[in-house]
Structure 1
Amino acid sequence: MLDLQYKNIPINAWYARPKIVRGATVLVHGFGEHSGRYMEAVIPRLLEENLAVFCYDNIGHGKSGGKRGHCPSYMALLELLDNVIAKARLLNPNKPIFLYGHSMGGNLVLNYDLRIKSDLAGIVASSPYLKLAFQPPKWKMILGKFMLKIFPAITMSSGLNPQHISRIDQEVEKYMADPLVHDRVSPMYSFPIMEAGEWAVHNANKLKTKTLLLHGTGDKIIDYRATEKLHKNSSCTELHLIEGGYHELHKDVGSKNTLDIIGIWLRNSLDHFYSQM
């Protein structure tokens, strides 16, 4: 476990280490879920590549403190990520540091690189939340924007359909049965993330770090075309579109292949880092 707090909010943070550590990855989960959902497939695959994996539950998520689905601000999410990266550096001096973000986590890792001076070895963004693939009801958007001004902490249902996370029924069932998964979202969590996603697409030419992008063309939650657009606007991204893939590529049909793409990319990035020394 890592002892971590964000302005009096207790943060559930932990890490796993392989026998030989070549580098470290900070893993950032998606909205409404938590870091424990990556223990089955993703974390073992990263450990296989000799990467220490640093995980945490975001504010208002999992075993961390804060009202479910609410955060103080978008900057608070980036500051918390910065704190976890600092811990990873401290425990792995002179080792390359990678970021791995899924969905909302993908939004955060990309914006972190765009907004904060960072010395990262690489970024993996799977199904990054840059633009929703569905249009929330108009009344909800109007009410949400109004509430953002007067009551930013009020939470409503996110409207996410669990059937859309994976084409594997068992994965959908596990998601729905998970007591730490929630579908609450406050205006302070939703609108700044939407804006940051759009901003990242338009400012992708400023990305400094080599980035691997993965998105399924069957994603009904987050629009893969926004990821394509970000890729077109940047000179340091590599894009893999997974034909028909749903939102959680690491828990979808063909997940082993997806994780192999990620694993090989990270291995090559590590080799590159050490060849420069």
Structure 2
Amino acid sequence: MKHTEFSFIASDKVLTYAQTWQPENNLPLKGAVCLIHGLGEHGGRYEHVARFFADNGYATLAVDLRGHGRSEGKRGHIKNWQILHDIISQGLAQCGQRFGVNSPFLYGHSMGGNLVINYVLQQLPNIKGCIVTAPWLEIVQPVPAIKIILSKFVNKILGAHTEKNDIDTNNLSRDAQIVAAYNNDKLVHDKISVRLFVEASKSAVYNLSNAPKLKTPMLLMHGTADKITSYTASERFAKNAPPHLLTFKPWPNYYHEIHNEPNEDKWAVLQTMLGWMEEI
């Protein structure tokens, strides 16, 4: 597998890190995947996913979102949601420039899943389809109403203020090694700013309200035992989206990171992704 790293200047003039993985051989690619990670993590945590895709003829490009991983910016903070839309657009453009694939797949997990859904609903991009796993449409442990109300006021004057995101990392995966690696990863952080929380929450509400407007083929998958983002919210989105475009796949007893579950469980998830990609 061939691995490359590069950076680009995003629309907010901030340096954004990205990396690619692609098959070693010179055979024509079947396609490409632009990967958008979740809150607090980074694209490097998906190397095994990219290797699986490469072994099956697909290139992968992963960007580190603003304030995450190796990209610049205050940890866990964004100026606005549109900047993240712009980063996705640049990532998709890079797939064309680097792989010669002008209609790649777009894949987002957790907060990245929220972002990908919002992007395809609003931007109508030229992509072959999107894969969304465990999207942040609702949070399992609801934020108190008073805190939500206060955050909207604080956002106007102290939007960059950050707090811990309160994610219990034991709920990421049933694989203890995955949890330990996450906890020891120096590129992972546990921060979220008031602005990012407000913007992501607004996006989630928009997504649930506009599911019927979906115009892009989507594979939506969620573990039923997810204690971080709501499985039932994904179920509602799937129920309201056009059935000829939306494929919904529950994973019984899986935790939040379905691509990081133990042993053969994660490979079943990746094989399902591949099968869907090759059918549409």
Pick the TM interval, shorter chain: over 0.9
2:187 matches 1:183:
no
Quick one: distance in 2 between partners of 1:48 and 1:108?
27
Indicate the residue corresponding to 1:243 in structure 2: 252
Quick one: distance in 2 between partners of 1:60 and 1:94?
28
After TM superposition, the structure 1 stretch with the greater mean CA deviation from structure 2, 192-201 or 62-71, is 192-201
State how many pairs are aligned.
268
2:91 matches 1:101:
no
Quick one: distance in 1 between partners of 2:196 and 2:52?
30
Q: Give the superposition deviation at 1:117.
A: 2.9
Q: Percent identical across equivalent pairs?
A: 34
Q: What SS is found at the alignment partner of 1:99?
A: strand
2:136 matches 1:126:
no
Quick one: distance in 2 between partners of 1:182 and 1:217?
26
Q: Is the 8 A contact 2:222 2:231 kept in 1?
A: yes
Indicate the residue corresponding to 1:34 in structure 2: 42
Residue pairs, 1:104-183, within 5 angstroms:
104-138=111-145, 140-183=147-190
Q: Give the superposition deviation at 1:95.
A: 4.8
Indicate the residue corresponding to 1:9 in structure 2: 14
After TM superposition, the structure 1 stretch with the greater mean CA deviation from structure 2, 140-149 or 173-182, is 140-149
Q: Is the 8 A contact 2:35 2:63 kept in 1?
A: yes
* Letter of the structure 2 residue corresponding to residue 114 of structure 1: L
Quick one: distance in 1 between partners of 2:143 and 2:163?
12
Q: What SS is found at the alignment partner of 1:266?
A: helix
**TM-score normalised over the length of structure 2:** 0.92
2:273 matches 1:262:
yes
Quick one: distance in 2 between partners of 1:189 and 1:174?
25
Quick one: distance in 2 between partners of 1:59 and 1:3?
12
After TM superposition, the structure 1 stretch with the greater mean CA deviation from structure 2, 42-51 or 137-146, is 137-146
Could you report, residue by residue, the CA deviation over 1:6-61 in whole angstroms, capped at 9, with x for unpaired residues?
2221111121122331211100000000001001x211111123111111100000
* Letter of the structure 2 residue corresponding to residue 207 of structure 1: L
Extract unaligned runs of 5+ from structure 1.
270-277
Q: Give the superposition deviation at 1:137.
A: 4.3
Q: Give the superposition deviation at 1:94.
A: 5.5
* Letter of the structure 1 residue corresponding to residue 250 of structure 2: L
Indicate the residue corresponding to 1:274 in structure 2: none
Quick one: distance in 1 between partners of 2:103 and 2:6?
20
Quick one: distance in 2 between partners of 1:247 and 1:57?
20
Q: What SS is found at the alignment partner of 1:229?
A: helix
2:93 matches 1:89:
no
Q: Is the 8 A contact 1:129 1:222 kept in 2?
A: yes
Indicate the residue corresponding to 1:275 in structure 2: none
Q: Is the 8 A contact 1:22 1:95 kept in 2?
A: no
| Runs of 4+ off more than 6 Å | none
